[in-house]
Structure 1
Amino acid sequence: MIWPLVVTLCSASCVHAHLQMSSIFSDGAIMQTTEEGGHSPVIFGQSNASSLIQITIKGPLNLTTAADSKGNWRVTVKETPSNPGPYNISIVEYPPSGDSPLDTFNMSDIFFGDVYFCSGQSNMAFTMHGIWNATDELANANHTNIRLFKARGSWMPCNNATVASFSAVCYLSGRDIMTMHTGSRYMGLIESAVGGTGIQLWASNETEMTCGQEAVRLKENYKAASLYETMVLPYLPYAVRAAFWYQGEANADECCPIGREDYSCYMEHMITDWQGVWGYKVPFVLIQLHAWGYMVCDMEQVLANELESGIRLAQWDVGRRNISNVALVSAVDLGGPLHPPYKSEVGRRVALATVATVFYQDIKWQYPYIRNATGNYTKGMFSIELYIENGDGLRLVETPTCNQSDATKCSVYCCKNGAPGMFILLGYNWSSFYNANAYNLQVVDIKDHYIRLSMLAKDTYKGKPHVTRILYQVASEPFCSVVNGQGIAMPTQGPIPF
């Protein structure tokens, strides 16, 4: 079979002696299929300037093109075959004159399927052997149609030995996509994640100029090139079905601190930059950080944790804006430690979002969120009514850490006593807010699409409380969460005016 191909030239910053290929082009690779609307896969590399490049895929296909003045070349397989493989690919470099070959690169056992790019920091890099149900998951992790790739490595089969040291969120998301929709179709999972890294290191120079110069200092501290250059660009032209992003912890501590607006700027422009290199609007599934640390007994201490909640709020901002092909998944209820082991549920939620927004399947995947709020003050009591979108089956659920000592010390008792601590009331700025515990802000009613809160309003101005807005789940470690009938948690969000 002969497949139609489109050949283009690309630019890069270096010239290589003879044929050079990214490590992602290795034996056993999965390349993106065009089946079910998948984007055309790309084969790219470097050679001597102006060399002629001949590519043969199984044969009798022969395609010849010239590298540009920097030695870069790129080939797009416009339509992939219905048979997924295996195939052999041969790439031969000739001098401009077309005489004897200068170099040859061969790949074998290549399949066409769906490819997913998984990136971020330590919670994306968190491996399968560390999850809470690792024994059961690893016992069932032998999938002949899934292959794994770790940045700077090579393609591996997916079995209980290789997946044990692979990204849990990446594998579990892919496995659940396979179970929910794609079945026996081949799948390639790419892990490109580095623990302890701020979003600034994953951004391009153009994003740095737009959002701030903080990345310059971070690069100097790391004494390394930008991760954008070393962990993204070598793989980004490789066509994928979707990208999954799980990051932000480093931006909430002393390593790489930035606020809500700055993080939003970096996140939006990073997505646009990456999509620009891919050459199409790659769907992004953005995982909102879980909460971690310690329970804030006195809600005034929230100010000391504004960075942590600010990152989650920034991710909420990006997920709610009209940014092309971005879906938000919440993990706020799955926290506790900095690296919580509850990755199976994260993977399920990512898979639901992917199957719904990438493959356009009619399934319920969306998180509940506050559509609007109203407040009423009567005889010293202030009540707030919240109207919740995607709120069918709405209920309170205790988080995994609710019975630990911090919850007992704070007298929170998980979801009991109206779950104080989940919601915070704000005045006209961040610092003017009400202590939700002291004012006994409680959930007094919850049902489909509706939550009612009530509190004793001790402090009033002109007969009404000094509050105008409400925040949800900004405490450092919440012990109770709102979920809908699909078991999907309401993300950290706000402030919502009322």
Structure 2
Amino acid sequence: MRSFVFLFLSLNVAAHAAVRLASPFTSHMVLQRERAVPVWGTAEAGERVSVSFGGQEKSVVADASGKWRVDLDALEASGEGRLFRVSGSETAEPLVLNDVLVGEVWLCSGQSNMVFTVSKSAYKWAGVTNEAQEIAAANYPQIRMFTGEAAKAYEPQARVGGEWRVCSPETVPGFSAIGYFFARDLQKELKVPVGIVTLAYGASCAEAWVRREALAADEKLRPMLEKFDAEVAAFRALPKVSTSEPAEVRSQDINAAAAPKPKAPKDPVQDQHNATVMFNGMIAPVIPYAMRGVLWYQGESITGGAEGVALYPRVQTSLVNDWRALWRQGDFPFYIVQLAGQNQPSNRPEVREAQATVLALKSTGMAVATDIGEEKNVHPYNKQDVGDRLVRIALANAYGKPVEFSGPQYAAMSVEGGAIRLTFSHAAGGLVARDGLLKWFEVAGADGKFVAAEARIDGDSVVVQSADVAEPKAARYAWVNFPDGGHLYNGAGLPAPQFRTNAVK
């Protein structure tokens, strides 16, 4: 009996004192090359923790709350799977992770188009173009993906569920399609391992991914937080509603129409439209996992109508700046996907214009997807082109490769008689009407009323005019929800984004 008690106590102490790594650290992970790699977790207060990897060993003593962190020195890229070992002075057995690589790490976040998986077997609304062929060819052991389990919370969490998985035809069906195609194309170019951390949730609003302190610091965004807090307080003050059947049913009520069951009120914390909840549940647990940059696809879910769209640039800017401040890796690359065309108000040009304001920030980029949308589908199946366009931006700007990364960008306009000449940058290889004609150009006179215009390419410019506008003052392009065909491209095959020459500065 004494032996049993001793064994029980010993096991209890060992379990209590066991060193634990933070969520992003699992076997098969990819660590970011060429920069310090933070490693953190929990242990017994005062326990000495040692981390060994790649010929380095770093030690630290856990603080009074049991938290610890060490920073590995910058690592060189390596496709060799190695052991990652963590031991503790009060822990019986070291924690050992297998098959750890070093290369490039990118975080993918946003809403359902980032969740969108390679196969529709994961989500019936997903599944990429040429799904079967893409899955069969996905034998890339140097690509790994960590997919965080969906989680919303009122306060920042320490952990998020998930594990790193090696890319193969067996695992890729559940990978974020954009994350996978980005990683595949990047790995082919750089010839180093690529890791993708996918933390995304369908129908989530941008403010849901921003922490409380950042929203509170902006007087225009603070009302979002105040509204949410008021809803939470009201919900928590409600009496509990029982939805169970009554224990007894009177005999005379047997044939009576059943009264509707009372609906339990919804917890606002579990609403992905509300401020901070996605940050708290999914982003906070992975900070400061070392990475190269972020890929962001969000914008279909904006609450508040026109006022919400007007606020979107502030929310987006707050998110970018605050994530950068929290990671403490400087102005890391932050590349977004501009919404694809769709015949829905959620994908209207004012939203895409609001998204494009991110380009005013350092080290940002925007992959245009207006031309690959589907009229009645908010989840276009062509994610290959989205991945390609994001990779081009990364190769040119994050890695200094000599590749064209942007479609034609409106640069200036001049009035020539009854026509307007629009000039463009990123016109390498010439401007192209890939579908044989240009559509979606419009002009307006002093009255500001836009009408359809004829458009022709002339070198690195497009000349537009309409017989209905004798003295044009402004022009715009693709200013509709769903511009179908007739797009303007450059010689690299990249589309021009929508624009209007009379945009409010």
TM-score, with length taken from structure 2: 0.77
Cα separation, 1, equivalents of 2:389 and 2:137? 20
Deviation, structure 1 residue 203: 0.9
Which residue pairs with 1:349 in the alignment?
389
Q: 1:53 aligns with which of 49, 53, 67?
A: 49
- Tell me which moved more, 128-137 or 81-90: 81-90
Matches within 5 A, 1:312-461: 312-319=352-359, 321=360, 323-336=361-374, 337-377=377-417, 382-392=418-428, 393-398=430-435, 419=439, 421-423=440-442, 425=444, 433-437=448-452, 441-443=453-455, 445-457=456-468
**Rg larger in 1 or in 2?**
2
After superposition, give the CA deviation of every residue in 1:334-392 in whole Å (9 maximum; x if it has no partner).
11221111111111111111111111011111221110112245xxxx31110111123
CA contact (8 A) 1:119 1:244 kept: yes
Matches within 5 A, 1:175-214: 175-179=184-188, 181-183=189-191, 185-209=192-216, 210=218, 211-212=220-221, 213-214=223-224
After superposition, give the CA deviation of every residue in 1:229-283 in whole Å (9 maximum; x if it has no partner).
11112113111122111110111xx588754441111111211111122211221
Q: 1:90 to 1:256 in 2, by over 3 A?
A: farther
Cα separation, 2, equivalents of 1:497 and 1:80? 46
Segments of structure 1 that go 5 or more residues without pairing to the other structure are 1-15, 95-99, 295-304, 399-414, 459-463
Cα separation, 2, equivalents of 1:232 and 1:469? 43
Cα separation, 1, equivalents of 2:483 and 2:196? 32
Cα separation, 1, equivalents of 2:346 and 2:416? 28
Q: 1:497 to 1:92 in 2, by over 3 A?
A: closer
CA contact (8 A) 1:469 1:497 kept: no
Cα separation, 1, equivalents of 2:463 and 2:147? 47
Deviation, structure 1 residue 104: 4.4
Matches within 5 A, 1:153-232: 153-179=162-188, 181-183=189-191, 185-209=192-216, 210=218, 211-212=220-221, 213-214=223-224, 217=227, 222-224=268-270, 226-232=277-283
SS in 2 for 1:119: strand
Alignment size in residue pairs: 421
CA contact (8 A) 1:121 1:247 kept: yes
CA contact (8 A) 2:413 2:501 kept: no
SS in 2 for 1:234: helix
SS in 2 for 1:250: coil
Deviation, structure 1 residue 58: 6.3
Which residue pairs with 1:470 in the alignment?
475
After superposition, give the CA deviation of every residue in 1:431-455 in whole Å (9 maximum; x if it has no partner).
x642424xxx221x21431101111
Which residue pairs with 1:273 in the alignment?
322
SS in 1 for 2:21: coil
Q: 1:453 to 1:335 in 2, by over 3 A?
A: same
Kindly report structure 1 stretches of 4+ aligned residues shifted beyond 6 Å.
Answer: none
Which residue pairs with 2:498 in the alignment?
492
CA contact (8 A) 2:45 2:63 kept: yes
SS in 1 for 2:342: coil
Q: 1:76 to 1:446 in 2, by over 3 A?
A: same
Which protein is richer in strand relative to its size? 1
Q: 1:206 to 1:442 in 2, by over 3 A?
A: farther
Cα separation, 2, equivalents of 1:288 and 1:231? 23
After superposition, give the CA deviation of every residue in 1:287-329 in whole Å (9 maximum; x if it has no partner).
11112126xxxxxxxxxx497322210122222x1x2211122
SS in 1 for 2:451: coil
Q: 1:257 to 1:64 in 2, by over 3 A?
A: farther
Deviation, structure 1 residue 167: 0.8
Deviation, structure 1 residue 176: 0.9
Matched, 1:133 2:170: no
Matched, 1:285 2:347: no
Deviation, structure 1 residue 226: 1.3
Cα separation, 1, equivalents of 2:309 and 2:422? 24
Cα separation, 2, equivalents of 1:496 and 1:395? 24
Cα separation, 2, equivalents of 1:121 and 1:82? 31
Cα separation, 1, equivalents of 2:304 and 2:92? 47
Which residue pairs with 1:299 in the alignment?
none
Cα separation, 1, equivalents of 2:171 and 2:268? 29
TM-score, with length taken from structure 1: 0.78
CA contact (8 A) 1:468 1:497 kept: no
The alignment-based identity, stated in percent, is 23
CA contact (8 A) 1:426 1:470 kept: no
CA contact (8 A) 1:198 1:256 kept: no
Q: 1:368 to 1:195 in 2, by over 3 A?
A: same
Which residue pairs with 1:409 in the alignment?
none
Q: 1:69 to 1:261 in 2, by over 3 A?
A: farther
CA contact (8 A) 1:43 1:74 kept: yes
CA contact (8 A) 1:202 1:228 kept: yes
Aligned-residue Cα RMSD (Å) equals 2.7
Segments of structure 2 that go 5 or more residues without pairing to the other structure are 1-15, 120-126, 149-160, 232-266, 271-275
Which residue pairs with 1:116 in the alignment?
106
Give the AA of the match of 2:173: A
Q: 1:82 to 1:286 in 2, by over 3 A?
A: closer
- Tell me which moved more, 19-28 or 126-135: 19-28
Which residue pairs with 2:30 in the alignment?
30
